[in-house]
């Protein structure tokens, strides 16, 4: 595998970095304190094309590859996790699910405006009573002629209060032999009658982002908005996670980098016992570990991205990248706070925010315990990936970038 | 309008530039477009959009060091040209100006040549004036706005940001201008621009193409060295009231014989 970035990828990386540094850094601390996302952030990301970076031009996107998506996530989370979360759910859980499973009509109608940022998307799977044990969700969808009627509540949904549409998985068959076979996924217009939603406040991290609940009461969803077949919802949802997790892995890698850079700068400046603390071996050990974890996490997500580009199933590799990077990012942020001593404990520096933000990624998109179960089951031979009816399409530069169709 | 914007490739502003064994090095820090030149590209693109026409980015350097030109293309420039020749390695400012002027002469009917106000590596800020002089064109430097430009009557009016304040000057086209930060934030490269730039092959013009002899430098770098390390200590002066702090500070300044 060739992990050198192409010229195109390097330029994407620099562009997203410049955007995040110039436009987000100046106000992020204030937004985090206010527990609000700055209103300009998502429209601006749409205008710059970041929201549709890896979507084919024919569907309104920018025609870049999946590695570019990862690089964008790394750059965004190096500034703040809330920015990367936007790509995780809008692009990862919503747009890419449509790219993989959607019909041509669904892609024209929804993927196009999503890629352009005219619509904001999210993925609503978890419920108050079921997160890790996703097959146990109770939210229901009942067919009534040309529509499905949705009832239930989704919990901990990123961009709940901001999104226009959501990929939602509900139970359509309570009597299915296996719980997971009774689920179906839909694309739901969140402005429909019967949808109520709000943000959750008092979160530990991702405070400059929206996380909330969405309640569905007799929400009528047209049959043509079903994604995949009836009963295919578990598979559709799991493939959404293959994409969402990838963005989380890449983002966490950015958080490690940010912790490392802050630690290096501070350690060279701060003196104890007559020398910069960077000269103390115990501080060096922390820095060494952060560098190691940054490089390893970066290679793992680049590998997952390369597999995606090649159209090869990557559930195992993506899960590993997510587990390694998010655990390491929590560690890196914690050590960054430690290196900053008393100052690290205050929001005068960024590192305490990194630490609070890093924790969430160990929980969402499959908790790290779930990632370990996945890794173990592959290693033990308990799990083998079967081909899906619709795979995430391999990146084909010509097809992706063809214009004026 | 035919606009040429000159862009230079420099070490990233975060790079640590040091002298090692008599040579300047910035380690493995990436090369980027000179930040001032981004403002120049922005100005050029805006004017081309307003009045129609094309923008050509012009660079000088090693053949493979195309990052700055590609960045300019990704921002929206129509074409890019690289001046490169073994005889142009390690030349001084004036020699570089001669090569750039020759390249501009080679293009047809240039209306406006745009530079960034200075380069963050050599920081001389002389290039626009030198190239203007060599081409016999008016030099309007340190431009912060271009309130009027008329390609038909061939006139341009600019606002210059100078130490004393703002100055409005008018000139005839073709003209050479240099642009500063007040001009307004440069755009980011667009994804479409990035795709185009990544695929672009940039023509290289050597001395033979330019039809000039190797310019001989008048300035030689006989020796370069690191600045002496300064040991800086910081002392925070505390006190109950601003007055008390100020008094303590004044005493300190006197005691240290700063004034
Ligand atoms: C900031 C944030 C954003 C989120 N965004 C979204 C979103 O956009 N869309 C969405 O659908 N959901 C989202 N979630 C929800 C998230 O996916 C769930 O919180 C997560 O899946 C865990 O589910 P749970 O909270 O129900 O915890 P539980 O499933 O109840 O788990 C509790 C604990 O038990 C552990 N555990 C569970 N089962 C096992 C087992 N078999 N073996 C060992 N340990 C186990 C878990 O790892 C966890 O530590 C978000 C959550 C957060 C915090
Ligand atoms: C919530 C809170 C409450 C506090 N309350 C009090 C209080 O009531 N009274 C009081 O006097 N102080 C208090 N402090 C201050 C606290 O004791 C200091 O923050 C602590 O001693 C660390 O000092 P520092 O912040 O200057 O970090 P530094 O001393 O600058 O240390 C920075 C980092 O370098 C490490 N380090 C330093 N020297 C070495 C070495 N030789 N080898 C390896 N690593 C080294 C440190 O462990 C730390 O990780 C409080 C701090 C906090 C955060």
Q: Are residues A89 and A50 in the same domain?
A: yes
Q: Are residues A148 and A259 in the same domain?
A: no
CB A186 within 8 A of CB A225: yes
Question: b/e string for A325-354 if b means 16 or more Cβ within 10 A?
Answer: bbbbbbbbbbbbbbbbeeebeeeebbbbbb
pLDDT of residue B133: 97
What residues in B contact A13, CB-CB < 8 Å?
Answer: none
Classify residue B166: in a domain, yes or no.
yes
Classify residue B77: in a domain, yes or no.
yes
Classify residue A272: in a domain, yes or no.
yes
Measured between alpha carbons, how far is A201 from A210 in angstroms, rounded to an integer? 9
First to last CA, chain B: 56
Cis preceding-peptide flag for A151 (omega within 30 of 0): no
Give the mutation candidate from B193, B195, B199, B202 for the A interface (greatest A CB count, under 10 A): B195
Percent of chain A with pLDDT over 90: 99
Residues A300-340 have pLDDT tens digits of 999 999 999 999 999 999 999 999 999 999 999 999 999 99
State which residues form the domain around A241: 235-380
* Domain total in chain A: 3
Classify residue B104: in a domain, yes or no.
yes
Helix (H) or strand (E) holding B161: strand B155-162
* Domain total in chain B: 1
pTM: 0.92
Residues A2-29 have pLDDT tens digits of 899 999 999 999 999 999 999 999 999 9
Q: CB distance B185–A22 less than 8 Å?
A: yes
Q: Are residues A66 and A142 in the same domain?
A: no
State which residues form the domain around B142: 2-210
Q: CB distance B198–A8 less than 8 Å?
A: yes
Q: CB distance B190–A7 less than 8 Å?
A: no
Classify residue A391: in a domain, yes or no.
no
CATH code where residue A181 lies? 2.40.110.10
Tokens of A336: 């960054």
Distance from the Cα of A249 to chain B's closest Cα (Å) equals: 23
Phi, psi of B56 (to 5 degrees): -110, 125
Q: Are residues A242 and A350 in the same domain?
A: yes
Classify residue B151: in a domain, yes or no.
yes
Strand pairing report for B79-83 and B204-205: parallel
Classify residue A145: in a domain, yes or no.
yes
State yes or no: pLDDT of A116 exceeds 90. yes
Q: Are residues A77 and A127 in the same domain?
A: no
Which ligand is nearest the CA of A212, by number? 1
**Which residue ranges have their beta carbon within 6 Å of ligand 1?**
A 89, 122-126, 131-133, 156-158, 206, 211, 360, 363-364, 367, 369-370
Q: Catalytic annotation on A177? A: no
Classify residue A95: in a domain, yes or no.
yes
State yes or no: pLDDT of A403 exceeds 90. no
Give nearest CA residue, ligand 2 atom 13: A342
Classify residue B240: in a domain, yes or no.
no
State yes or no: pLDDT of B171 exceeds 90. yes
Residues A131-166 have pLDDT tens digits of 999 999 999 999 999 999 999 999 999 999 999 999
């Amino acid at each position: 595998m060739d992990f050198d970035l192409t010229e195109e990828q390097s330029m994407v990386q620099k562009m997203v970095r410049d955007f995040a540094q110039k436009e987000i850094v100046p106000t992020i601390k204030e937004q985090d304190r206010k527990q609000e996302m700055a209103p300009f952030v998502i429209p601006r990301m749409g205008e710059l094309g970041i929201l549709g970076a890896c979507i084919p031009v024919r569907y309104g996107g920018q025609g870049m590859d999946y590695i570019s998506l990862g690089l964008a996530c790394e750059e965004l989370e190096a500034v703040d996790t809330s920015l990367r979360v936007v790509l995780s759910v809008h692009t990862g859980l919503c747009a890419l699910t449509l790219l993989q499973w959607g019909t041509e009509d669904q892609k024209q109608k929804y993927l196009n405006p999503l890629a352009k940022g005219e619509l904001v998307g999210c993925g609503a799977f978890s419920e108050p009573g079921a997160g890790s044990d996703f097959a146990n969700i109770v939210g229901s969808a009942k067919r009534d002629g040309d529509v499905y009627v949705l009832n239930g509540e989704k919990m901990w949904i990123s961009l709940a209060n901001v999104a226009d549409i959501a990929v939602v998985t509900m139970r359509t068959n309570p009597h299915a032999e296996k719980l997971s076979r009774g689920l179906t996924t839909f694309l739901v217009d969140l402005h429909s009658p019967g949808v109520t939603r709000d943000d959750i406040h008092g979160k530990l991290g991702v405070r400059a982002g929206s996380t909330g609940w969405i309640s569905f009461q007799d929400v009528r969803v047209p049959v043509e908005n079903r994604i995949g077949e009836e009963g295919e919802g578990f598979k559709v949802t799991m493939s959404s996670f293959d994409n969402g997790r990838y963005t989380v892995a890449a983002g966490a890698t950015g958080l490690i980098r940010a912790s490392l850079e802050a630690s290096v700068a501070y350690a060279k400046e701060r003196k104890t016992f007559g020398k910069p603390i960077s000269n103390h071996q115990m501080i060096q050990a922390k820095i060494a570990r952060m560098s190691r974890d940054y490089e390893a996490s970066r290679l793992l997500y680049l590998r997952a991205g390369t597999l995606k580009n090649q159209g090869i199933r990557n559930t195992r590799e993506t899960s590993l990248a997510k587990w390694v990077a998010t655990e390491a990012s929590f560690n890196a942020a914690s050590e960054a706070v430690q290196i900053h001593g008393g100052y690290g404990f205050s929001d005068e520096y960024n590192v305490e925010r990194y630490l609070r933000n890093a924790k969430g990624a160990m929980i969402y998109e499959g908790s790290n315990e779930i990632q370990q179960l996945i890794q173990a089951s592959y290693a033990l031979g308990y799990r083998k990936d079967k081909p899906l009816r619709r795979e995430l399409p391999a990146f084909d530069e010509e097809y992706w970038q063809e214009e004026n169709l | 309008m035919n606009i040429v914007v000159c862009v230079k490739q420099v070490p990233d502003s975060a790079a640590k530039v040091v002298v090692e064994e008599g040579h300047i090095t910035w380690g493995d820090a990436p090369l980027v477009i000179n930040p001032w030149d981004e403002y120049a590209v922005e100005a050029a693109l805006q004017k081309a959009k307003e009045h129609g026409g094309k923008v050509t980015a012009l660079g000088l350097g090693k053949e493979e060091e195309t990052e700055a030109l590609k960045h300019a293309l990704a921002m929206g420039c129509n074409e890019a040209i690289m001046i490169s020749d073994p005889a142009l390695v390690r030349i001084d400012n004036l020699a570089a100006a001669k090569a750039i002027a020759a390249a501009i002469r080679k293009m047809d009917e240039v209306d406006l040549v745009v530079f960034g106000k200075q380069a963050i590596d050599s920081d001389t800020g002389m290039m626009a004036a030198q190239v203007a002089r060599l081409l016999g064109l008016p030099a309007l430097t340190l431009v912060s706005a271009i309130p009027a430009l008329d390609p038909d009557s061939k006139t341009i009016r600019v606002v210059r940001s100078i130490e004393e304040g703002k100055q409005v000057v008018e000139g005839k086209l073709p003209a050479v201008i240099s642009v500063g930060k007040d001009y307004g934030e440069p755009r980011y490269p667009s994804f479409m621009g990035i795709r185009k730039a990544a695929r672009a092959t940039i023509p290289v013009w050597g001395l033979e193409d330019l039809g000039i002899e190797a310019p001989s430098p008048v300035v030689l770098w006989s020796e370069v060295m690191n600045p002496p390390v300064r040991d800086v200590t910081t002392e925070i002066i505390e006190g109950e009231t601003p007055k008390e702090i100020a008094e303590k500070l004044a005493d300190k300044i006197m005691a240290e014989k700063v004034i």
